[in-house]
Structure 1
Amino acid sequence: MGRKLWLTTSAAVLLWTGAAQAQDAATAQTDQQDEATTLGEVVVTAERRTSNLQETAVAATVLSGESLDDRGVFSLEQLQFVAPSTTVQNYGQGNFFNVRGIGKSEATTAIGVGVTTYRDGVPVFPGYFQTEPYYDIGGVELLRGPQGTFAGTNATGGAVFITSRNPDFTGVNGYVMGQAGNYDNLKFQGAINLPISDTFAARFAFNSEQRSSFHDITGPYSGAPGDIDMNSVRASFLWMPTDALRVLLKVDYNSLDFGGYPADPALATNDPFEITANGPHSGKDETARVSLNVSYVLDNGITLRSITGYQDGISVFSTDLDGTSALNNTFYDRVEEEVWSQEFNIVSPDNQRLTWLVGAFWQQDKVTFPVTTFPEGAYHVGFPEGVLDYYIFGETPKETKAVFGQISYDISDRLQIQLGARWSESTSRNENVYTTYPAFGLTLLQNDEVTAEKTTGKLSLNYKVDDNNFLYGFVATGFKMGGLNAPNFYVPASSFGPEDVVDYEIGWKSTMFGGRVRTQVGAYYMTYEGFQVIVGDPAVPLFSSIVNVADETVLMGLEASAQARINDWTVDVGAALSKSELGEFYAADPRIARSGTCNAETGPASPNCLNLDGNTQGYAPEFTFNIGVQYDVHLPNGATLSPRMDYAHIAESWTSIFNNEALGDRLEARNLVNLLLSYKTDNWTLAGYVHNATDQTYIAAINAGLRYAGPPRQFGVNLTRTF
């Protein structure tokens, strides 16, 4: 740990020192060269107004749509390879998405996410439905650390803001792309922008992809395990009858069939793509989303904004729970989710010493486990199927109300203070939730409710050293509400408490070499109270429950990133070093047979009641690193040939707070290399790509005792025509 800390700190210091010494020479070049080689300004909009990333007190990775394409980021899973401190465990529709070790770490709708995702201003489904592809994207902003002012209760680890490309009035334009690759991969994508009048424009986009499975499955199974068939369409409409009024409507539809997620036991030693199974495999998401963004600028420069969202989705998932053909342990799940949201903002003009923003937010999220025909319409676990089965039916609606605001005051031309706060009230209910055990003739009914309210926010002090250097320090808080455990044979339903995070952070952002190099360096220290985990039920040995870690959990780390554009070279680099420690906490590992109680505060310690003091938090690797290098070769007639290489390293991590390697809790390090060679001439781009060029076999996720392999080497070509 100490050596890694020294190396990361030294690299950041050397980067700045060398850049500072050469800055005068770089700025002496001609204006024409500057325009050709400098980096464009990067803006963030997550704080409800447009601001320069280099002068905003937030640790963030911001990527344009073109950068996403160049770096092979087409979905949430690949985002972890281009952003520091980020991990994504892809085991199905309910991925574990964590930033700095905080996010989603348990496969249950009872626990909320810790990294919330917005698409076109609307917070998307908070539990399932995270597989929507990135296409025709304007930009992605990944903010690290609690976002308690603007994103609210489900952003203890961070927030992601994804913006698709908007219609515009520049003329008829767009693109079409076709791709062919190994594993029978075929992909088609495109968009067209139509300025229908001087005040009304539309944009239509689509994405379609098919691919054969990576797996060779032997043994009796059902479905087409791992074959994907994804189809998405989007329609966007922009109406601007005056300079003051802007109305933007977007409608998305996704039909995403992944054919299932084959897996085998976590401790297996065979090739993870050679699977034996006798259970079903399926995985399909069907979603629709409507977002309406209306803004009006008053004569005094104040902006009124309304953002309305509606989402509806159906997710179907089934798998072989033991991952072998030896047993008949199966799982079926059908989830229907409907989300309504509404946000209002009143935003002051930017060009004044005191700026402010106030807002209100409401969201209704209803998850339904329908009572329909077995197996597709049921939440059903067979352990083994037909012998010991149980089913869950019912609805789990959640409602959130919030008001928030932020004030920024320029004490001087260089010194600024910011204060943001958000009050939230959240309610989670179980309405007629039935757990049935047919073998015992037993049905348990749960009608319960839990409510929590909390004020979170951020206090920041920002100092602009000069036009090229920006320093900041802040304290920010985050909150994730508690929830309800399901009833079991012996005890009624119980509740678990909320999570609270306090983040102390300092950072330094600089722009050097006459605008050719940008850097971000930051350090954070976070205290985490009430971490929600699944452990053996403290009172009943046969069952598991969600509980809160009794003592304080500490997370700390360093993060650094840089982007450079020097002549024909483009370089992107990011690194993060982190450390986490659980406080004193006794818990029973549900995978270990035990007897007796296990009190979270007093134990007693035993082979099946463990003191987890000092254990590492799950999904919190100590070191992440990524670098991308591109060189543009200029050819006759204005053509360019651009080779690019991206490398990402994510160190080993634990998938459980029990840190038990013998039970499969260890997720080994991964080192991935992507290659891209693109030839551009006029409006045509021909590109050859290789993802996971070294064909590293690695485990991408471990969940419920099963391991899920990451994608093997994929290669192919694509051809894009812009117009």
Structure 2
Amino acid sequence: MKNQQGRLTPNLLAMSIAAIAWSAPACAQVETQGDGIQEVIVTAQRTAAPASKTPVAMSVLTARQLDAIGADTPGALAARLPNTYLENSYDGLRITIRGVSNADVTEKGDPSAAFMADGVYVARPQSQNTALYDVERVEVLRGPQGTLYGRNTTAGVVNVITKAPVGRFEGDVNAAFGNRGERKVGAMVNVPVNDVLALRAAATWNEHDAYLKNGSNTPRGLGLDRDDRAARLSARLALAKNATLLVRYEASRDDSNNDSTVPDSNFYNGIATGQPVWNGDSTDRQLTYRFNPPNTRFEQGYSRKKASSLTADLSWDLGPATLSWLGAHRSFDHDYLYNFYYRVAPTIALGVRQPFTGTYSQDSHELRLATNGAGPVTAQGGVYWFRERARDTYYFRDLQAVGLPPYYVFGNDPVEARSKAVFGQATVRLADGLRATAGARYTEDDKSRTGTIGYQRTAAFNAATDLRELNAGSISTDKTTWRLGLDYDLAPATLVYGSIATGYKAGGFNDGCAAGD
């Protein structure tokens, strides 16, 4: 178990002191197998090392633990992670670590905690609400982690690491059924083709009926229904005696209904008088949607997500050091219709419909050189490049009662984010069991948006009757982040360490900005 104390100050400076012992409850760092204890190997410092010898404030959930608690989405991990909360919200995954979070999930914002899949940064929170299947482990690092993981890690990092092909035949089929129509099916097969190539395929399918009931006398279906499926194909190829290429391709689709909220009047009486009182209704009544907006007629809500990713991880052992390259391309399409309950004043509640459509693509590359062995000095360094391009349109309907036109439209084409960085970190053995670490990273970011805000009578813009204003902006930021640390082997099974580190969150801009502001 790792016990840690930490604080994140407003200037993004954090200190953490931790000790490791072998009694582990929820976030076990070891697994007992037979009569012995097997270490969990982690990559929290971007190189493989035992968790007990890694001086980072972190929690690790292994495949066995994930299966035991039935965690198959990121939000299901929250109960097993101290100082960490993950919420599968309708507008994306919300990550809070040590009380630090982020409320802007749009394409112009950046998170405070990074979500990664096999070491690849996943930019869109909406595509982070993904199914967890055939996972090796989940590593959660408390922040800041700005040196080795880069920007947008002031709160920390959640890294989901999937299982790679191995040199033996494996297979698995599983199914589960539960209340409210829950049904899950999963399968995996691992095939060693020969001494050079191994393949692994995994797939999952999940459905769950609505939690909410419709009492509005309209034919809408309500609730946070689950309807997702995903598949992954992985290949491990031995290019030479000391070089290995791991390629992963994954595709997923999520058609869950995101109409998942109920009005405040389900829980309180007297809201119209400005003096709400808890009504104490039964759960069945509180989960029944009875609101019919006076200003519009709600439509059937929906959310359709489609994502794909291609990742290549090359590792070449050169003897004194290992050269690695991690490249990835991800695409994400999202269309939805959300029905908002909007209380304008204590006596007035309106309905608002929000349709949305968006396409996103991102590419990233990292080249890194790390020393091998356990000599008096270990070091790593590299360069990083990232680009994201987004196009989206979303509009709010039915707001005439508050002085807005029938269609209040935001259109962005495109929104672009670019980042590049150079980094390095070294650890020096000062004495037996005592080590000092120093690292730094320099990052440059550019973000721009070309967009408009439309005040329209219909969904399609009509230059003769409608108005538009520029909603564009650009910003360039840069930052040098650093880390200093000491760690000491207090005993064979106990590590004491202290560190001080800085983090960096890339800048953004508000709606309505003019170019250059």
- 1:267 CA displacement: 6.6
Match of 2:397 in 1: 382
Match of 1:125 in 2: 123
**How many residues in Structure 1 have an aligned counterpart in Structure 2?**
454
Does structure 1 conserve the Cα–Cα contact (< 8 Å) formed by 2:182 and 2:208? yes
Match of 1:135 in 2: 133
- 1:163 CA displacement: 1.1
Does structure 1 conserve the Cα–Cα contact (< 8 Å) formed by 2:250 and 2:310? yes
- TM-score under structure 2 length normalisation: 0.83
Q: Aligned AA for 1:480? A: K
Q: Aligned AA for 1:329? A: V
Match of 1:480 in 2: 505
Residues 87 and 35 of structure 1: CA distance in aligned 2, closer, same or farther (over 3 Å): closer
Does structure 2 conserve the Cα–Cα contact (< 8 Å) formed by 1:93 and 1:129? no
Q: Aligned AA for 1:336? A: T
SS across alignment from 2:126: coil
Q: 1:296 aligns with which of 304, 316, 340?
A: 316
SS across alignment from 1:472: strand
Does structure 2 conserve the Cα–Cα contact (< 8 Å) formed by 1:169 and 1:201? yes
- TM-score under structure 1 length normalisation: 0.60
Q: Aligned AA for 1:204? A: A
- 1:334 CA displacement: 1.6
CA distance in 2, matches of 1:357, 1:70: 36
SS across alignment from 1:77: helix
Work out whether 1:367 is the aligned partner of 2:381.
no
Q: Aligned AA for 1:288? A: S
SS across alignment from 1:103: coil
Match of 2:490 in 1: 465
Match of 1:414 in 2: 433
- 1:204 CA displacement: 0.4
Residues 253 and 380 of structure 1: CA distance in aligned 2, closer, same or farther (over 3 Å): same
- 1:332 CA displacement: 1.6
CA distance in 2, matches of 1:231, 1:457: 40
Q: 2:473 aligns with which of 438, 448, 466?
A: 448
Q: 1:510-549 deviations in whole A, cap 9, x for unaligned?
A: xxxxxxxxxxxxxxxxxxxxxxxxxxxxxxxxxxxxxxxx
Q: 2:202 aligns with which of 187, 205, 210?
A: 205
Does structure 1 conserve the Cα–Cα contact (< 8 Å) formed by 2:186 and 2:203? yes
Match of 2:307 in 1: 287
Alignment RMSD? 2.5
Match of 2:262 in 1: 264
Residues 268 and 317 of structure 1: CA distance in aligned 2, closer, same or farther (over 3 Å): same
Q: How does 1:230-249 map to 2 (within 5 A)?
A: 230-249=228-247
Q: How does 1:188-227 map to 2 (within 5 A)?
A: 188-219=185-216, 220=218, 222=220, 225-227=223-225
Q: Which 10-residue stretch deviates more, 218-227 or 91-100?
A: 218-227
Q: 1:691-712 deviations in whole A, cap 9, x for unaligned?
A: xxxxxxxxxxxxxxxxxxxxxx
- 1:412 CA displacement: 1.1
SS across alignment from 1:327: strand
Q: 1:344 aligns with which of 353, 361, 367?
A: 367
CA distance in 2, matches of 1:129, 1:218: 31
CA distance in 2, matches of 1:267, 1:347: 59
Does structure 1 conserve the Cα–Cα contact (< 8 Å) formed by 2:475 and 2:516? no
CA distance in 2, matches of 1:273, 1:239: 52
Q: Aligned AA for 1:111? A: G
Does structure 2 conserve the Cα–Cα contact (< 8 Å) formed by 1:275 and 1:323? no
Match of 1:358 in 2: 381
Q: Aligned AA for 1:276? A: R
CA distance in 2, matches of 1:340, 1:35: 40
Match of 2:453 in 1: 435
Q: 1:393 aligns with which of 411, 421, 424?
A: 411
Work out whether 1:305 is the aligned partner of 2:324.
yes
Match of 1:276 in 2: 290
- 1:445 CA displacement: 1.6
CA distance in 2, matches of 1:446, 1:384: 20
CA distance in 2, matches of 1:267, 1:479: 41
Q: 1:187 aligns with which of 181, 184, 189?
A: 184
Identity of aligned residues (%): 24
Match of 1:164 in 2: 162
CA distance in 2, matches of 1:106, 1:241: 43
Q: Which runs of 5 or more residues in structure 1 are unaligned? A: 6-12, 20-33, 370-377, 496-723
Q: 1:562-588 deviations in whole A, cap 9, x for unaligned?
A: xxxxxxxxxxxxxxxxxxxxxxxxxxx
Does structure 1 conserve the Cα–Cα contact (< 8 Å) formed by 2:339 and 2:353? yes
Q: Aligned AA for 1:213? A: A
Does structure 1 conserve the Cα–Cα contact (< 8 Å) formed by 2:342 and 2:351? no
Q: 1:318 aligns with which of 337, 352, 355?
A: 337
Does structure 2 conserve the Cα–Cα contact (< 8 Å) formed by 1:485 and 1:493? no
- 1:272 CA displacement: 4.1
Residues 267 and 357 of structure 1: CA distance in aligned 2, closer, same or farther (over 3 Å): farther
Does structure 1 conserve the Cα–Cα contact (< 8 Å) formed by 2:213 and 2:222? no
Q: Which runs of 5 or more residues in structure 2 are unaligned? A: 6-17, 24-31, 268-280, 292-296, 458-464
Match of 1:91 in 2: 89
Q: 1:65-100 deviations in whole A, cap 9, x for unaligned?
A: 121110121111111110001112332142321101
Residues 144 and 362 of structure 1: CA distance in aligned 2, closer, same or farther (over 3 Å): same
Does structure 1 conserve the Cα–Cα contact (< 8 Å) formed by 2:369 and 2:380? yes
Does structure 2 conserve the Cα–Cα contact (< 8 Å) formed by 1:293 and 1:307? yes
- 1:407 CA displacement: 0.4
Does structure 1 conserve the Cα–Cα contact (< 8 Å) formed by 2:214 and 2:220? no
SS across alignment from 1:67: helix
SS across alignment from 2:341: coil
- 1:106 CA displacement: 3.2
